[in-house]
């Protein structure tokens, strides 16, 4: 009891002790997990000028952009597009907000009218934009319970229009103030019109062999530190990998060829439903239903019911295929990634081109049927049959019927006529009727567009064509081959656990491929999109020397090893040496030449360095190029700073060390009016302002990019 009483008396102290203990525990926990203390929430993709972009917002924008860019755009391409758009929006938003710029309702209305001026959805019968149709369209989106995201997509489009309009207005305002003064015009004229003639001696840097100039690592490092802006680098990782490719062996290919040869002839197969438990399976050579046979037995490539001219056949096999007798088979032969058997189905001379006219009777349910189509398929067929019966007795009514009944509005003005089209121009059913029939034929043909009443009006020329059927088998590795690849990869993985990656690969004659990747890269040469490998290389717990196996790489197995890490910031000496080494070497050559020179005249300098005295005339400051030496801005600037007849000291140029003497100075002609030159400067500023302005705004913005951590 005495102890309890003492505790009660010290309640405040006890609470304080407990609080401090909890606080210490929390701090310890935070410092153990630095990301929790210093990093952004994993739900934040980026922060731009203090404004967060949430993972949910970013993901929704990526999904929408993917639908716009199509399936050929990779995830990284779409992500980068969305990210750059959000950066631009955020950067420009701050500038636009400061100016109080907005898009009012009437301007928004004008933007929508301009954008959708030719969209049939919003046009009336006269082809004019109809605001009532726009309003109805938006109301339908709001009430579309089966597609709740449709209205939000429309709102996003409106916001995008407004954002683009505000940015355009902003840039136009800046451009409006981008003018040049008459003084700037005068300076432009002087830079162009003032000329100097010079004599000069150049000691080219190439006159000193690179091998004689020693450059140390510390000198390169010092150069990089002096030119930090030139050598900033994004975070990157270097790794090496071996790709165990699953590719068909010669034995696999032979098996595929044997299987195709076996498919040629009829064979007995087991069938428990047959009387004697056997039945004959018809082969490719004897089958009567070629289309079904090909579609059931061919990999990927299905039967195409059309005639082909010789030039459309594979060049390497065109003669063999085209000259094949009807009913005979050519192959197996290899084309691309397939082994093929090709059978000659038919040969026929067809016209080069055909002229025909038609009446289209569409029906409800077709994809291309307009809202005015009300007839069922049966009704449309009955109408077509009825009309063709009339036309067969009186073709003069064809034009009248086209106007009255045809659903092909594009051909109505030409009386339903299509003039001299090639074989592959029309859909198959229409094509077959007009090319395989004869002039004067009149009949009803059904296509995906409805029922066509067609009359063949003319046929030109004649060309020999063939109809072929091809069974294709894709060249793929067998299970045995895949098992061997798996075994090789596993053995390699075990070996590098005890030995050097490159040496083990060399011993087994495997190709080691080096790779450098940035944090958001996804493509690896030879492997395609392999974001998983890049992600692994950038994981915090991936250390140099670590390796990992990737089994889910299309076409094989990859084993990769991390070989280097480059943090964001200044490049390493090794990476920067590619460009820094030649520049440091050039500086040392220049110093060597200048230190050994004692001459003060062109003649003495030329003699000492065993160089000739050269001349150049009519040099100007606008284009600081010296004949025989190239672009040398510092040398030209030095010449313009000399009086006529004066000789310069040694000048360190881009391609060598120079001594220059001015032989003649010609001032620019004075003009009464420098307005044309001022306009010239203004135009140049105007054309450059948009890109330079945004680049400057973006550079000054605070952008934190967390995509590599938050988006997979």
Considering the domain boundaries, does residue 682 fall inside one?
no
Q: What is the pLDDT of residue 595?
A: 95
- State whether 616 and 659 are in the same domain: yes
| pLDDT tens digit sequence for 599-642 | 999 999 999 999 999 999 999 999 999 998 999 999 999 999 99
Last residue of a domain, one of 284, 315, 349: 349
Least confident of 368-372, 516-520, 670-674: 368-372
441: domain CATH number?
3.10.50.40
Tell me whether residue 708 is in a domain.
no
171-175, 376-380, 488-492, 554-558: least confidently modelled range: 171-175
Q: Which residues contact 391 (CB under 8 A, 6 or more apart)?
A: 397, 398, 401, 442, 453, 455
- Reported as a single tens digit per residue, the pLDDT across 110-161 is 888 888 888 888 887 777 888 888 888 888 888 877 777 778 888 888 888 8
Number of domains in the chain: 6
Domain at 201, CATH number: 3.10.50
- 75: pLDDT strictly greater than 80: no
Query: Does position 409 have pLDDT exceeding 50, yes or no?
Result: yes
Task: Looking at the structure, tell me whether residues 364 and 486 fall in a common domain.
Answer: no
Under a CB-based contact definition with an 8 Å cutoff, are residues 383 and 373 in contact? no
Q: In the block, which residue shows the tokens 């490998």? A: 533
pLDDT of 4 > 50? The answer is no
pLDDT at 271 over 70: yes
- Cβ atoms of residues 357 and 402 within 8 Å: yes
Q: Which among 326, 349, 372 is the end of a domain?
A: 349
Q: Are residues 73 and 92 in the same domain?
A: yes
Q: Are residues 29 and 60 in the same domain?
A: no
Which residue range is the domain that position 529 belongs to?
Answer: 236-247+478-567
Same domain, 291 and 363: no
Are 304 and 406 members of one domain? no
The answer to whether position 205 is within a domain reads yes
Q: Are residues 68 and 137 in the same domain?
A: yes
Residues 324 and 357 in one domain: no
Look at residue 33 and tell me whether its pLDDT is greater than 80.
no
Query: In this structure, are 295 and 283 located in the same domain?
Result: yes
Kindly state whether residue 183 falls inside one of the protein's structural domains: no
Question: Where among 520, 546, 567 does a domain terminate?
Answer: 567
SS3 content of the chain, % helix, strand, coil (to 5): 50, 25, 30
Residue 691 maps to a domain: no
Q: What is the mean pLDDT of the chain?
A: 88
Phi then psi for 456, rounded to 5 degrees? -85, 115
**Residue 216 domain-assigned (yes or no):** no
**200 and 241 assigned to the same domain:** no
Close Cβ partners of 206 (under 8 Å, ≥ 6 residues apart): 656
Q: Token pair of 384, please?
A: 């077509």
- Residue 693, domain member (yes or no): no
Q: What share of the chain has pLDDT > 70, as a percent? A: 93
DSSP labels for 648-701?
---EE-SSEEEEEEEEEEEPPPP-S--HHHHHHHHHHHHHHHHHHHHHHHHHHS
Which tens digit of pLDDT belongs to each residue from 198-246?
A: 999 999 999 999 999 999 999 999 999 999 989 988 889 999 999 999 9
Max Cα distance, the chain (Å): 125
Tell whether 698 is covered by a domain. no
Global confidence as pTM: 0.62
Residue 409 shares a structural domain with residue 300: no
Residues 55 and 34 occupy one common structural domain: no
Does position 530 have pLDDT exceeding 50, yes or no? yes
């Amino acid at each position: 009891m005495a102890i309890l009483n003492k505790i009660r008396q010290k309640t405040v102290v006890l609470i304080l002790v407990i609080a401090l203990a909890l606080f210490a525990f929390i701090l310890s926990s935070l410092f153990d997990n630095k990301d929790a203390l210093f990093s952004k929430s994993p739900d934040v993709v980026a922060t731009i000028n203090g404004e967060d972009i949430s993972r949910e917002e970013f993901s929704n924008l990526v999904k929408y952009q993917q639908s716009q860019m199509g399936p050929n755009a990779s995830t990284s391409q779409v992500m980068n597009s969305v990210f750059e758009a959000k950066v631009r929006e955020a950067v420009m938003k701050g500038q636009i907000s400061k100016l109080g710029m907005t898009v009012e309702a009437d301007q928004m209305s004008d933007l929508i009218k301009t954008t959708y001026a030719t969209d049939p959805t919003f046009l009336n019968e006269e082809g004019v934009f109809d605001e009532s149709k726009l309003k109805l369209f938006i109301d339908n989106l709001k009430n579309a319970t089966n597609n709740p995201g449709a209205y939000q997509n429309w709102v996003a489009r409106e916001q995008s229009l407004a954002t683009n309009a505000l940015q355009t207005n902003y840039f136009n305002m800046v451009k409006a103030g981008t003018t040049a003064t008459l003084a700037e015009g005068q300076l432009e004229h002087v830079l162009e019109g003032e000329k100097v003639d010079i004599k000069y001696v150049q000691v080219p840097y190439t006159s000193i062999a690179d091998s004689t100039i020693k450059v140390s690592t510390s000198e390169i490092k010092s150069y990089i530190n002096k030119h930090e802006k030139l050598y900033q680098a994004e975070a990157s990782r270097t790794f090496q990998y071996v790709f165990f490719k699953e590719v068909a062996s010669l034995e696999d290919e032979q098996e595929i060829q044997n299987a195709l040869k076996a498919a040629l002839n009829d064979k007995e197969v087991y069938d428990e439903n047959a009387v004697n438990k056997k039945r004959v399976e018809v082969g490719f050579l004897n089958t009567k239903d070629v289309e079904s046979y090909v579609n059931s037995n061919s990999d990927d490539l299905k039967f195409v019911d059309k005639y082909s001219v010789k030039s459309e056949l594979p060049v390497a096999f065109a003669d063999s295929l085209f000259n094949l007798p009807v009913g005979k088979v050519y192959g197996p032969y290899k084309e691309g990634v397939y082994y093929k058997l090709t059978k000659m189905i038919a040969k026929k001379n067809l016209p080069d081109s055909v002229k025909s006219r038609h009446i289209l009777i569409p029906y409800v349910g077709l994809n291309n049927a307009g809202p005015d189509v009300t007839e069922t398929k049966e009704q449309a067929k009955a109408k077509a049959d009825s009309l063709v019966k009339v036309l067969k007795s009186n073709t003069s009514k064809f034009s009248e019927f086209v106007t009255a009944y045809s659903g092909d509005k594009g051909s109505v003005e030409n009386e339903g006529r299509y003039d001299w089209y090639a074989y592959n121009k029309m859909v198959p059913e229409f094509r077959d009727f007009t090319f395989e029939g004869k002039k004067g034929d009149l009949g009803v043909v059904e296509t995906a567009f409805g029922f066509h009443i067609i009359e063949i009006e003319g046929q030109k020329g004649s060309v020999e064509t063939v109809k072929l059927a091809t069974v294709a088998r894709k060249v793929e590795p067998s299970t045995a081959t895949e098992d061997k690849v798996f075994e090789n990869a596993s053995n390699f993985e075990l070996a590098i656990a005890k030995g050097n990656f490159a040496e083990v690969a060399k011993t087994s004659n495997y190709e080691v491929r080096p790779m450098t990747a940035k944090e958001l890269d996804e493509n690896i040469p030879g492997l395609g999109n392999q974001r998983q490998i890049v992600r692994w290389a950038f994981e915090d717990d991936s250390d140099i020397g670590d390796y990992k196996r990737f089994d889910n790489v299309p076409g094989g197995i990859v084993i990769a090893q991390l070989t280097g890490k480059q943090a964001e910031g200044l490049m390493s000496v090794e990476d920067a040496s590619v460009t820094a080494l030649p520049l440091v070497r050039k500086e040392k050559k220049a110093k060597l030449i200048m230190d050994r020179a004692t001459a003060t005249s062109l003649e003495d300098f030329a003699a000492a360095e065993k160089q000739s005295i050269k001349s150049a005339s009519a040099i100007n400051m606008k284009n600081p190029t010296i004949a025989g030496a190239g672009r040398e801005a510092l040398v030209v600037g030095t010449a313009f700073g000399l009086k006529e007849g004066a000789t310069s000291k040694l000048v360190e140029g881009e391609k060598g060390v120079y001594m220059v003497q001015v032989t003649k100075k010609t001032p620019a002609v004075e003009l009464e009016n420098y307005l044309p030159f001022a306009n010239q400067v203004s135009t140049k500023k105007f054309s450059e302002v948009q890109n330079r302005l945004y680049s400057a705004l973006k550079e000054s913005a605070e952008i934190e990019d967390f995509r590599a951590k938050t988006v997979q």
